[in-house]
A and B are shown apart, each in its own frame.
Chain A
């Protein structure tokens, strides 16, 4: 008994600590909830890739190149935490499709988002300004001040290949060789002849890829980019250069834009609904089940805190549907408690004393709790598979909620009840542990 009481107190403190962490991490912004586009405001664009010109064996590579190119462009616009991913249409589509999904939090003008992504990427060769410090770490802010405007662009690029050069000590080093067209060849020859010893930068979509030093004039229209490449990164760079333009044509097939105000409202209203929901359920539990009900409310609080902490730690992307799932799960979380309490009442009627009634109530209700929750978990798994990102959010929260509520009901409520356990037979204590309108 003493042992159970210690555990109960420990659980309480753990709950308070966890609650404090959730609160301070949110206020301090260290580990914030991850909000989906419908809550944070933003734009989602769905593209279909046109792969008619791509052989089957290159599809995966092309899609990866497409994703990387788009990702680089998105990063260039300074969008915070963009998500760029490829998706295959499932078995249930009419025809096979490769899709690209771009999520841009904070961009709430659909047209603007489309325009940003639709722009052809730029490959640029830019000279480092004379006297500029080449050892500075390059950022998007200092590039314009450090580099001159472009002398050569991707328009003059004929192609790029991965090669292995014989380095010092006969170690082969992966390098990227680029070839210019005839106009580019001329410009490049002039520039390199006049600027031996200076540094230039190669930029793709404004991001520096490499900043080599010009060692000698290069008249043949080819340049070697060497650096600390691995064979993979060199291959990637060659691919990026060759695919300076998008590797596959894409076509917009869906958009979703939610304004920040609407998202903010949804969050505020979601929190309000959650608070009212928890409040109503708590009141109901205390009025109907009295002392055990109060303990169930503690367990419920612990459930709420634990789930919120999980949302932050996993992290789960919350959508309006996810909030709905969470609020729903609060209503369902007490189910296990209700089952147990009803069972305890029966046990007590059958003449069992307090602690025994509690233990039997729990063990007898367990099968029902387990079987009924498995059906919900099955539903959650299927929903997750079915879902668009919106529904996935719902399914994930719903599934997590079911599992966590089951855990808190059978461990936390049980510990609390046994810790408080009273074998007193006074009328008042019987009343305290009774429920509803029943007299005995």
Chain B
């Protein structure tokens, strides 16, 4: 199996991808959205042409809205992000956008999150992420408990965990880049996307490991001697088409969701897509090579 044979090339490739992802996150940053910091997110649509952005910004500033960012949305709308509003500002928000009735503006979506709710959600998101990783580690170690030769079931679990870290970092890097273009911020849906990617991409890893487990068992039953790298490589080969096909169907529906689906889930679909491609890559080009590398290291 060429991926196992040339695993060092794939380790290098993985390193490069990780480096790019982390650089992107470092350069562009990951601004937290209103969900996590508290604040306002408003989406405005205009009947006819939208008001001049400068004029709207001026109107907002005049009424005391601070620390805001205004972005164009679609052909005739804006998205406003700002800190928490005083109650009277909420009443006058439509006026600020319509420039006191000059334009016909409708606030189609308004979200305000109090700071305390944001902090709670932020803490919860971190805990949820940790919980998913730990639960998956334990589950794999449990599911593979009967395979301990030549590699302990915990190693399967830890390698799955390493691939999962990769699966998280890639969409994070991508999202930082996306944010720099579209102004997207980390919100609850982003966290959901990342957690979903974890659950999904561990599928692929489990399927490959499961096949390795089966091949090891069959070898033992038939009293066949085989190098572990060949056994694992064979498993990878046997599951390759399945991994690629499943990812293809999932990627297809995500593309459909991105192009045809609701606006509110477009970034979500894109993040999932990147995460799932990363997950497929990591379970094919990272998981089994790591398993073999570990076994080699132990054998020495």
Chain B residues touching A, majority SS: helix
Contact between chains at B252 and A321 (CB < 8 Å)? no
Specify which chain B residues have a CB less than 8 angstroms from the CB of A92 in the assembled complex. 120, 123-124, 127
Specify which chain A residues have a CB less than 8 angstroms from the CB of B120 in the assembled complex. 89-90, 92-94
A261 at the A/B interface (Cβ < 8 Å)?
Answer: yes
Q: How far is the CB of B153 from chain A (nearest CB, A)?
A: 12
Contact between chains at B261 and A339 (CB < 8 Å)? no
**Interface size range of chain B in the complex:** 35 or more
List residues 17-59 of chain B with CB under 8 A from any CB of chain A: 35, 43
Contact between chains at B200 and A110 (CB < 8 Å)? no
B162 at the A/B interface (Cβ < 8 Å)?
Answer: no
Checking B35, B136, B204 against A378 with a beta-carbon cut-off of 8 angstroms, the contacting residue is B136
Contact between chains at A385 and B128 (CB < 8 Å)? yes
Checking A252, A267, A331, A376 against B249 with a beta-carbon cut-off of 8 angstroms, the contacting residue is A331
Checking B116, B262, B268 against A95 with a beta-carbon cut-off of 8 angstroms, the contacting residue is B116
B148 at the A/B interface (Cβ < 8 Å)?
Answer: no
Interface readout for B229-268 with A: 1 if CB under 8 Å, 0 if not? 0000000001101100110111111111101111111001
Contact between chains at B261 and A327 (CB < 8 Å)? yes
Checking B119, B131, B260 against A382 with a beta-carbon cut-off of 8 angstroms, the contacting residue is B131
Contact between chains at A376 and B109 (CB < 8 Å)? no
Specify which chain A residues have a CB less than 8 angstroms from the CB of B125 in the assembled complex. 386
A97 at the A/B interface (Cβ < 8 Å)?
Answer: yes
Q: How far is the CB of A119 from chain B (nearest CB, A)?
A: 15
Interface readout for A326-360 with B: 1 if CB under 8 Å, 0 if not? 01101110110011001000100000000000000
CA distance A380 to B200 in the complex (A): 10
CA distance A378 to B111 in the complex (A): 30
Q: How far is the CB of A436 from chain B (nearest CB, A)?
A: 7
Specify which chain B residues have a CB less than 8 angstroms from the CB of A269 in the assembled complex. 260-263
CA distance A48 to B116 in the complex (A): 10
CA distance A258 to B106 in the complex (A): 11
List residues 229-267 of chain A with CB under 8 A from any CB of chain B: 252-259, 261-262, 265-267
A52 at the A/B interface (Cβ < 8 Å)?
Answer: no
Identity of the chain B residue whose Cβ is nearest the Cβ of A395 in the assembled complex? B192
List residues 174-214 of chain B with CB under 8 A from any CB of chain A: 188-189, 191-192, 195-196, 198-200, 202-204, 206-207, 210-211, 214
Q: How far is the CB of A207 from chain B (nearest CB, A)?
A: 29
Contact between chains at A270 and B268 (CB < 8 Å)? no
Interface readout for B94-116 with A: 1 if CB under 8 Å, 0 if not? 00000000000011111111101
CA distance A334 to B261 in the complex (A): 21
Question: Which of A11-19, A56-64, A124-132, A366-374 sits within the interface?
Answer: A366-374
Checking A94, A262, A382, A391 against B109 with a beta-carbon cut-off of 8 angstroms, the contacting residue is A262
B135 at the A/B interface (Cβ < 8 Å)?
Answer: yes
CA distance A346 to B240 in the complex (A): 13
Specify which chain A residues have a CB less than 8 angstroms from the CB of B131 in the assembled complex. 382
Q: How far is the CB of B162 from chain A (nearest CB, A)?
A: 16
A379 at the A/B interface (Cβ < 8 Å)?
Answer: yes
Contacts A94-B119, A320-B265 given: A379-B132 contact, CB under 8 Å? Answer: yes
Specify which chain B residues have a CB less than 8 angstroms from the CB of A372 in the assembled complex. 202-204, 206-207, 210
Tell which of A253, A265, A281 has the most Cβ of chain B within 10 Å: A253
A273 at the A/B interface (Cβ < 8 Å)?
Answer: yes
Q: How far is the CB of A271 from chain B (nearest CB, A)?
A: 9
Contacts A258-B108, A327-B256, A379-B132 given: A48-B114 contact, CB under 8 Å? Answer: yes
Checking B123, B191, B203, B253 against A93 with a beta-carbon cut-off of 8 angstroms, the contacting residue is B123
B293 at the A/B interface (Cβ < 8 Å)?
Answer: no
B139 at the A/B interface (Cβ < 8 Å)?
Answer: yes
Contact between chains at A262 and B108 (CB < 8 Å)? yes
Q: How far is the CB of A40 from chain B (nearest CB, A)?
A: 13
A272 at the A/B interface (Cβ < 8 Å)?
Answer: yes
Contact between chains at A46 and B261 (CB < 8 Å)? no
Specify which chain A residues have a CB less than 8 angstroms from the CB of B223 in the assembled complex. none
CA distance A114 to B85 in the complex (A): 14
CA distance A92 to B107 in the complex (A): 33
Residues of A within 8 A of B (CB): 38, 46, 48, 89-90, 92-95, 97, 110-111, 114, 252-259, 261-262, 265-267, 269-270, 272-274, 276-277, 280-281, 284-285, 288, 320-321, 323-324, 327-328, 330-332, 334-335, 338-339, 342, 346, 364, 367-368, 371-376, 378-380, 382-383, 385-388, 390-391, 394-395, 398, 436
Task: List 13 A-B residue pairs with CB atoms under 8 Å apart, sorted by A's residue number.
Answer: A110-B110, A252-B87, A254-B113, A257-B110, A266-B262, A273-B253, A277-B257, A281-B249, A327-B256, A335-B246, A371-B206, A375-B202, A385-B128
Residues of B within 8 A of A (CB): 35, 43, 87, 90-91, 106-114, 116-117, 119-121, 123-125, 127-128, 131-132, 135-136, 139-140, 143, 188-189, 191-192, 195-196, 198-200, 202-204, 206-207, 210-211, 214, 238-239, 241-242, 245-246, 248-257, 259-265, 268-269, 272
The 5 lowest CB-CB distance pairs between A and B, nearest first, are A379-B199, A253-B114, A273-B261, A331-B253, A277-B253
